[in-house]
Structure 1
Amino acid sequence: MRTFNVPQREQVSENNQAIFDALKSKLGFVPNLYATYAHSDTALENYLNFSGAKTSLSAKEKEVVNLAVSQVNDCLYCLSAHTAIGKMNGFRDEQIVEFRAGYSTENDKLDALAKLAKNITEKRGRTDDNVLENFFSVGYDKGNLIDVISLVGDKTISNYIHSTTQIPVDFPEAKPLEATIV
């Protein structure tokens, strides 16, 4: 089995060192997944620009998508990170479990969003018409749809990096979905 190291600051390009410094200043540490992007001289900056770009989705809506996509793609790292971020955005454990499973019992709009993100990911973009119509019926528009698809792609990249490298999770580990549903 291949082993991927998590590069340290002194092992990455000057550009990535500056990004590491900014991340450490902002977050208090450099998440292992971000550090793994720094194996490339350009991927970390490109990823952070893409994931931090303007969007029509709120921070909470982005977390709904991140959780649903990461569950479909079975990415422990991203599930763990976005569970923590979801809590920082005010979601309760029960809500996070529902978003991971691709629905919400408390909010019709977030329910439609979670279902769409799950369906897009499972069907690799061949979205079911009824899921799409439900998304539009709760008030989302075509611009929101494109932003969701972009976010699905953004999150899938990170999911695949972790799935390929299996670098250590440096967030409290999310429990398997089956263990969280009572």
Structure 2
Amino acid sequence: MPTINPVNASAGSPAAEILGAIKSKIGMVPNIYATMAHSPALLHAYLGYGEGLGQGVLGAALAEQIALTVAGENGCDYCASAHSALARGAGVASDEATRNLRGEASDPRTAVILDFVRKVVKNRGHVEAADLQALRNREVSDAELVEIIAHVGMNLFTNYFNHIVDTDIDFPVVRTDPQSRAA
């Protein structure tokens, strides 16, 4: 049961306009957004962060794969569920999304990126020179690297948010594998 219930998007509520725009754009108001809407400033800032990164160099598929790796490492079932659905929409196969939850990928370049993401989360941002060199060996640019870091940060926020408020999952449920976080 959520510790903070989603906002009812009734007319006249401070967040009604933002939530209405979300519903018009994607056909639903995800519970995470409706819960963030207790602070319209937070919801606006979060959506702006995501829209800004959406114009970056990484592309939608890799952004979702990063989100899945962060969710898997943190054991966030809400984010695993939401980003599995979004990853499918971005062209990521279901079996690949399952690998991504473990920080793995079939594509060697993506695998190096997701391994880096997993290490960033696990080590709270502290990485070794060898981890950065592995990215450079796969020709990850400075622009890509800073966006990878930004995506990790954005997804850490949503993972922690969902853990604390215990957001009800409103996507097809995907559970994270605790074994993928044990090492």
TM-score (structure 2 length as normaliser): 0.90
Can you give the 5+ residue segments of structure 2 that lack an aligned partner in the other structure?
none
Following superposition, the deviation at residue 70 of structure 1 comes to 1.1
Following superposition, the deviation at residue 135 of structure 1 comes to 1.2
Contact 1:12 1:39 in 2 (8 A): no
Following superposition, the deviation at residue 85 of structure 1 comes to 0.8
Amino acid in structure 1 at the alignment position of 2:22: L
Matches of 1:33 and 1:107, distance apart in 2: 31
Pick closer, same or farther for the CA change 1:13–1:116 going to 2, 3 Å: farther
1:104-135 deviations in whole A, cap 9, x for unaligned?
Answer: 1x211111111111111111110132222111
Does residue 24 in structure 1 map to residue 23 in structure 2? Answer: yes
Matches of 1:162 and 1:124, distance apart in 2: 19
Pick closer, same or farther for the CA change 1:60–1:29 going to 2, 3 Å: same
Following superposition, the deviation at residue 178 of structure 1 comes to 6.1
Aligned twin of 2:65: 64
Matches of 1:176 and 1:70, distance apart in 2: 7
Matches of 1:56 and 1:93, distance apart in 2: 23
1:120-166 deviations in whole A, cap 9, x for unaligned?
Answer: 11111101322221111111112211111111111111111100000
Matches of 2:165 and 2:11, distance apart in 1: 17
Aligned twin of 1:103: 104
Question: The residue matched to 2:40 in structure 1 has which SS?
Answer: coil
Contact 2:3 2:164 in 1 (8 A): no
1:9-61 deviations in whole A, cap 9, x for unaligned?
Answer: 138843x2111111111111100001111111300000000011032211111
Matches of 1:42 and 1:51, distance apart in 2: 14
Question: The residue matched to 1:42 in structure 2 has which SS?
Answer: helix
Amino acid in structure 1 at the alignment position of 2:56: T
Contact 2:72 2:176 in 1 (8 A): no
Pick closer, same or farther for the CA change 1:153–1:179 going to 2, 3 Å: closer
Contact 2:71 2:155 in 1 (8 A): yes
Matches of 2:93 and 2:127, distance apart in 1: 28
Question: The residue matched to 1:177 in structure 2 has which SS?
Answer: coil
Does residue 147 in structure 1 map to residue 150 in structure 2? Answer: no
Matches of 1:110 and 1:62, distance apart in 2: 11
Pick closer, same or farther for the CA change 1:179–1:134 going to 2, 3 Å: closer
Matches of 2:157 and 2:8, distance apart in 1: 21
Amino acid in structure 2 at the alignment position of 1:83: S
Matches of 2:16 and 2:135, distance apart in 1: 41
Matches of 2:8 and 2:32, distance apart in 1: 12
Contact 1:119 1:128 in 2 (8 A): no
| Structure 1 range deviating more: 5-14 or 61-70 | 5-14
Aligned twin of 1:94: 95
Matches of 2:32 and 2:178, distance apart in 1: 25
Matches of 2:102 and 2:12, distance apart in 1: 37
Aligned twin of 1:128: 128
TM-score (structure 1 length as normaliser): 0.90
